[in-house]
Structure 1
Amino acid sequence: MHSKKLAKDSGLTAPQLLVLQCVAGDKRAKPSDIARQVHLSQATITSIVDRLVRAGLVVRERNEHDRRSLEVVITDEGKRRLVDAPELLQEGFLSAFDNLADWEKSLLVSSMQKIAFMMHADNLDAAPILEVGDINDSGA
């Protein structure tokens, strides 16, 4: 499975890598903004950031304009791990999707919208099905 290879190669879970990419792209990010960008709950982001902080890949810093607000900042080690990490599965998908003919893209998008509607996907939170713990931890 791709997620196990990702964890083996980088030591990161897919959600952890997504959060690292989000923070690296913005330089500094509020947890609420990260949650919005990666479509996970605030509680899930807090758990992921906690693990990334313990691993030395990000730090939490006070916002210089609003001392009540915390921001997540990627460390040099986090940047290094991000560079060394394998490509996420969805990045390969997006590349392949871009190469499809317009009619093929429309057909796939229409089918996925129908499936999402049938599953009432607008009411689902992806966070409960994500394993955010240490990939090697058998108790997670």
Structure 2
Amino acid sequence: MTDQITNGALRAIRRILRAAEQGGRRLAATTGLTPSQLLVLQQIEKTGVTTPSVIAATLHFGQATVTNIVDRLEAAGLVTRSRGERDKRQILLRPTAAAGQLVNRAPDLLQERFTDRFESLPAWEQAMILAALEKLALLLDAGDMDVAPLLDAGPIDRPAD
């Protein structure tokens, strides 16, 4: 019986990983972005003007991860960086017009679908799923990992419009 449960859990993990991989490929084909890059870009687009530290805190990404992603987004012409007027140490991020167009045509992210469906569950069920996922992260030695890879995959190759 234990083998059946273990195998069932492993199959479920593989299905989740495959869904994430397919979603990432679909996103890359449509926008040239990785899921992490799109999340950062969406956050910048949503706020209009923000800082890397606010994005890191909002998305629960490491500061180095956000900096790396913003470097790539800036190189692709999707965001601009400027110094704060009052505090020159502060870096302000703004979306470009191209960013808005890209965000609008991006396919639905797996996490958006998950969020919509997860939030419709009763609180007790959400708590059970969260507890199980936290335990799973610990079992896989992923309990303390940054939620986005430090070097978010490769350059942004945007498809021609």
Q: TM-score category by the smaller chain?
A: 0.7 to 0.9
Aligned residue in 2 for 1:24: 45
What's the CA shift string for 1:104-129, capped at 9, x where partnerless?
32321232233345456553223447
Residue 11, structure 1, aligned to residue 52, structure 2? no
For residues 94 and 69 of structure 1, the distance between their equivalents in structure 2, rounded to whole angstroms, comes to 32
TM-score after normalising by structure 1: 0.82
What's the CA shift string for 1:19-43, capped at 9, x where partnerless?
1111112211111221222222222
Q: Superposition pairs for residues 49-88 of structure 1, below 5 Å?
A: 49-88=70-109
Unaligned runs of at least 5 residues, structure 1: none
Aligned residue in 1 for 2:54: 33
TM-score after normalising by structure 2: 0.73
Q: Superposition pairs for residues 85-100 of structure 1, below 5 Å?
A: 85-100=106-121
Distance 1:37 1:103, change over 3 A: closer
Contact 2:34/2:153 (<8 A) preserved: yes
Distance 1:104 1:134, change over 3 A: same
For residues 120 and 151 of structure 2, the distance between their equivalents in structure 1, rounded to whole angstroms, comes to 29
Distance 1:85 1:114, change over 3 A: same
Query: Alpha-carbon deviation of 1:17?
Result: 0.4
Unaligned runs of at least 5 residues, structure 2: 1-21
For residues 147 and 134 of structure 2, the distance between their equivalents in structure 1, rounded to whole angstroms, comes to 17
For residues 23 and 74 of structure 2, the distance between their equivalents in structure 1, rounded to whole angstroms, comes to 24
Structure 2 letter corresponding to 1:27: G
| Structure with greater Cα Rg | 2
Q: Aligned match of 2:66 in 37, 42, 45?
A: 45
Structure 2 letter corresponding to 1:69: Q
Contact 1:27/1:74 (<8 A) preserved: yes
Aligned residue in 1 for 2:3: none
Q: CA RMSD in A?
A: 2.2
Aligned length: 136
Aligned residue in 1 for 2:8: none
